[in-house]
Amino acid sequence: MEKQVKAAILGSGNIGTDLMYKILKNPGSLQLSLMSGIDPESEGLARAKSYGLDISIEGINGILQDPDIQIVFDATSAKAHIRHAKLLKEAGKIAIDLTPAAVGPYVVPPANLNDHMDADNVNLITCGGQATIPLVHAVSRVCKVKYAEMVSTVASSSAGPGTRQNIDEFTFTTARGLEAIGGAEKGKAIIILNPAEPPILMRNTVYAAYEHGHEDEIAASIEQVIAEVQEYVPGYRLTRKPIFDVRDTPEGKWPVVILLLEIEGAGDYLPSTAGNLDIMTSSAKRVAEVKAKYLLKQVLS
């Protein structure tokens, strides 16, 4: 049996519940033992209990009482995580932050996860960032990216109050992620909430202006990164081959590559149209799995 690291989910809403289903379906190096929330009537806590997990309505305190829990997924809110981060650090626990708090470094698994293996708190940026930064990273590791722009369109039904209240933070944080992790000299992000019924799948357009690059090398790098993301988000795919052109950009006239990306959720708890939420929970699980293996390796050595 594979050795495991004990983990807990803080927050029993849609994100925390979907994450629970993903871990229980394929735990790997994670032993999910507890879900903690603050609402006694929470559907997520009821589902966790039905699957044999320990549950608590004491929030962060329910997790701090167990010294054996090493990894904690925070699926609450940015305001709450600022308080949680300090308490988890003092307790020697690793925080995987699914909120916009950004206490720890931004992490996108295919791009920079290995750079932050010793970080005790990592932030998953935004759903749009997890979707599009890998593609810009794929271009920038081949050649210089002068400008990167992403437009993310998600079903209105999959954008909760938190997303709607943080649109400005979404665009700012994602744009900075395109630069800091994606490697673009300048980034821009736009989000569109589409109220169509039935709900649409998450769709993203990525537009990267580059310098001194070769189309075949760029296309090969993109294909490799897509395969890496598909290891933990199977519904992550381009709807057509990369489009190469020369266009005017805010940084001047440059060769560009345009990528049309679609994300279909796994449907573990949330509907398949909620690809924007699915990529967050899938990325969180991926980060935790890699960190758990790193912790186990340290113990063995």
What residues form the annotated binding site for NAD(+)? 12-15, 158-166, 276
| Torsion angle (degrees, nearest 10) of CA 56, 61, 64, 70 | 60
Q: Alpha-carbon distance 208 to 44, whole Å?
A: 40
Q: Which residues are annotated as a binding site?
A: 12-15, 158-166, 276
Alpha helices in 166-264 (DSSP H): 167-180, 215-230
Per DSSP, which regions of 109-233 are E strands? 121-123, 144-155, 187-194, 202-211
Q: What is the dihedral of CA 237, 238, 241, 242, to 10 degrees?
A: -120
Which among 11, 51, 3 is positioned nearest to 28, based on CA atoms?
3
- Kindly give, in sequence order, each residue whose CB lies less than 8 Å from that of residue 220, ignoring residues fewer than 6 positions away: none
CB under 8 Å to 191, separation ≥6 — which residues? 128, 151, 152, 153, 154, 167, 170, 171, 174
For residue 117, give Cα distances in angstroms to 2, 71, 112, 179, 204: 20, 13, 10, 21, 29
For residue 248, what are the CA distances in angstroms to 135, 209, 245, 256? 21, 9, 10, 9
Task: State the DSSP code for 189.
Answer: E
Does residue 127 have an active-site annotation? yes
Helix (H, G, I), strand (E, B) or coil at 95: strand
Looking at 127, 202, 225, 274, which residue is catalytic?
A: 127
Q: Which of 232, 173, 239, 170 is nearest to 204 (CA)?
A: 239
- Residues with active-site annotation: 127
